[in-house]
Structure 1
């Protein structure tokens, strides 16, 4: 029987430990490039892997299309003096008699009817004039109607009508504004931007603010910045409109050899791949492979067909877009490639990182073997 020397025993122990380490695998942040490419449909996988170029960038450059329908855009500005059901009016009637006025006491020529409510059918009640249609009229038109009704009962009555604040011409403003509340449509606040200003303006970053307007069964959205830059989107308001200012809810996930791994909200309307990488701290200089930047996405069939030059795909398709930042145009492609909601941006580790981990594991394993051998021999 051969007896192993101490050195031979150590070597055998080292080989066994290295084999065990290799079999168990080493820690890493995710799949490497080769493993991702194995998932390609060309290798019986279920994802299309596409290298990003100018054509791909153009085909995938899609951002949310917000805007208002023609029903919103074509609505004219409401007259600031138009009376609506629910409004409150103030009436003052001057009678040209002293001894026996129709509405007041003897010697009282002026009668004030404060806070007269326009009912749901649009009518008000005036003593001795009866029910009069007020909704749809201006204060001047209503004044003439009341004057005609009273003129047969009191000589030359003089009537004034004032439209006070009322629910009938109000809109609600909610969400990320200075002061949530119900606001009356008045002469200075007959448009969307003016009403938002009346509510104290937006309280979040303008770059991520989305304005939603609901009118009856119809809803439209617009970016706040688009509202300011495009006057045609500054729609006229209607009584009952519901205005909500909210933060953009889009986000992407960053994983792999980046400065941080997290779910990241969009900070602007459009976000490029290079901006997405910068937001999470850039590539980890100790780990990242700049030739292996991937964007994982479920792509609508229309776009997937355009990217792949096909017409037969149906339904959402799993797409993996590859960016190589070391190529002559790689940085430009990353700058132009648009990241979309729910994308996953993944950066692979450089090949030498696994070698370093393997060597570190071997060195650590060898040290452990030596320690065990020393203990066994009493050295």
Structure 2
């Protein structure tokens, strides 16, 4: 009779425990939804209008292509000279004369000047006009003794030489003039940002290109090459070139610029080049050992590689049939400019976000995961298995009753 009574007492307790356990399953903490809950949210609780697309053999071709954003820099291509003078340039002017001279009577050149090579020139006297050089003023003009003001902006040094010779005609006997550019200011480009030696680079008649001056400034910095944290990324695939010319600015990834291509622009004076580090990363959530943000560290990254870098699903908690890649749309449809001009046009419709789903319990999907290409700022979510909640309840009850059982065992 005692045994039967004990059973009768235990059974109501077990029933109460089972009922409380069933209700507790819905309230236990979790780190994310199950695959079924995500599917339900897509059909009912979906304010942003995202849709679920299964990764399959019939659509993998479109998901395995990489859109390389090239050609932006080529739109800034322009013709121009790099040997013309402008404001701020510093000139060196040497004037040589024979016989009675205007410039050779000074003490330092009274016995006859020197030639360009430095050899004596006993039959001619010469003088360097302006020992510190002559600066082209903001109006593009210089002043030469016995000639006056000369407009040199936009001219070459050879053209300036001819102007000075013409200005000395009738004043000096057979004048010879050599004009050299002592300091180049107007025909320079500024290179800044994530380069080893940011500075102003003078251009020459060799016609330097974009990649030439990046190399001349030491290339990308060591920090950009090695990264400083798990979310920094490495190498030129994470460098953006911001190029400004004549008031227009475009951006393009550094690793899409091929040497000698139209994007490798021939530089002009006044160009500004800035290298900006923009690491491409993806984030992993859900039934994994550690939530993390991971850099691509390569030009392309597949879903299989991304899952491997994240450590893969947790065997005890994950549902391998429900692996999602959440991807935001690239932007609005290109009607904003027209709409600004015509307010009667309908508002632009944004592209809907997509949650790509793959079943990793299917053998063929491992091949598809090797072709699916990740995009910058994609979010991988590995769904929790439905059996996780009862398992968590059992673990919670075990932690609750284990002290009581330990005391009972100790008192026996």
Above 0.5 in TM-score? yes
SS at match of 2:308: helix
Q: 2:23 matched to which residue of 1?
A: 23
Gap change, CA 1:12 and 1:54, over 3 Å in 2: same
Residue of structure 2 aligned with 1:53, choices 50, 53, 56: 56
Gap change, CA 1:83 and 1:175, over 3 Å in 2: same
Deviation of 1:91 (Å): 1.2
In 2, Cα distance between equivalents of 1:199 and 1:22: 67
In the TM superposition, what whole-angstrom CA distance separates every residue of 1:146-168 from its partner, at most 9, and x where no partner exists?
11111321011111111133321
Gap change, CA 1:359 and 1:213, over 3 Å in 2: same
In 2, Cα distance between equivalents of 1:5 and 1:366: 23
Larger helix fraction of residues: 1
Q: 1:281 matched to which residue of 2?
A: 311
* Maintained 8 Å contact 1:301/1:314: no
In the TM superposition, what whole-angstrom CA distance separates every residue of 1:152-192 from its partner, at most 9, and x where no partner exists?
21011111111133321122111111111222223456211
Residue of structure 1 aligned with 2:187, choices 139, 146, 169: 169
Cα RMSD (Å): 3.3
Deviates more, 1:274-283 or 1:176-185: 274-283
Q: 1:151 matched to which residue of 2?
A: 169
* Structure 2 alignment gaps of length 5 or more: 113-124, 225-234, 334-347
What TM-score does the superposition give when structure 1 sets the normalisation length?
A: 0.82
Residue of structure 1 aligned with 2:376, choices 329, 341, 351: 341
* Maintained 8 Å contact 2:101/2:173: no
Deviation of 1:230 (Å): 6.0
Q: Are 1:32 and 2:67 an aligned pair?
A: no
Q: 1:306 matched to which residue of 2?
A: none
Number of residue pairs matched by the alignment: 363
Q: 2:358 matched to which residue of 1?
A: 323
Q: 1:290 matched to which residue of 2?
A: 320
SS at match of 2:41: coil
Q: 2:395 matched to which residue of 1?
A: 360
SS at match of 1:243: strand
How is 1:179-328 mapped onto 2 (pairs within 5 angstroms)? Answer: 179-188=197-206, 190-203=208-221, 204=224, 205-228=235-258, 231-299=261-329, 314-328=349-363
SS at match of 1:341: coil
What TM-score does the superposition give when structure 2 sets the normalisation length?
A: 0.76
Q: 2:102 matched to which residue of 1?
A: 101
* Maintained 8 Å contact 1:172/1:241: yes
* Structure 1 alignment gaps of length 5 or more: 304-312
Q: 2:153 matched to which residue of 1?
A: 135
* Maintained 8 Å contact 2:84/2:156: yes
* Maintained 8 Å contact 2:73/2:243: no
